[in-house]
Amino acid sequence: MSNLKKVFANKKAFIPFVVADDPDVDTTVASVLTLAQNGADIVELGIPFSDPVADGPVIQKADLRAFKAGVSTKVVFEIVEKIRQSSSIPIVFLTYLNIPFKYGYDKFCQRCQELDVAGLVIPDAPIEEQGELRPFADKYGIDLIPLIAPTSDNRIEKIAQSATGFIYVVSSLGVTGVRDELAIQQLNETIKRIKKVTDVPAAIVFGIHSPEQTAKLATIADGIIIGSAVVQIVADGGDVQRNLGEYVRSIKKHMEASLYN
């Protein structure tokens, strides 16, 4: 069993997302530690990219702030090094394929293993396009976390059967960003199809931002991923760590309450 899959044993996993080096290294390190201390089960760390095809305006702006701060893949690994001085929270990277390609697949995956980065979410690398990277991910025990979207349709079973770690179930068409309405019935049907062919956990992503949404979705999914709402808290400034802590505790409280309703 992969280390990520173990996280989901006997609980619903909350997976918040932050952009590395937004707006600086120290804030990112502090934010990840705050998330870990207040109920996050896994933290997804976004590696800024110049053409993030899956990301909406909130995360794109965070990428721009990180670029202004001088982010690089080397800096991202340094951020994880600093986090590892205080926390063993499971971390996955959201990245685009050009980043590990340019860094060198072997070197990138080896560095992930050294820093206990457990998995990679790569929106522009569907399973048919992972041939170059997968041998190195397998070599170093890094899960390649697949995406299943509303458009996956007849590929759902194929993608699910190849999954390790957990499955990234995209709630809606388009890019990341908060949404007031989510297609819960459609998501429920998608997850049922996934569960028929694999026991790998399924976590829902895109659009989720409120505790009430989280409570509903936690009844049908193994985990909830929240990105733009968390990134916006960082963007708003002020007492970022206090605000992050309060938000995470509220989300986690509603997730846990949903198990008993």
So which residues are the catalytic ones?
44, 55
How is residue 175 annotated by DSSP?
Answer: S
- Kindly list the distances between the CA atom of residue 39 and the CA atoms of 12, 34, 211, in Å, as whole numbers in the listed order: 11, 9, 14
> What radius of gyration, in Å, describes the C-alpha atoms of the chain?
17
Place of tokens 């390649």: 144
CA distance 143 to 164: 6
**Residue type at 244 in one-letter notation:** L
Phi-psi region of 70 (alpha: psi -120 to 50; beta: other; left: phi over 0): left
Helix or strand run (H / E) with residue 165: none
Cβ proximity of 53 and 122 under 8 Å = no
Angle (nearest 5°) at CA 234 between 256 and 218: 20
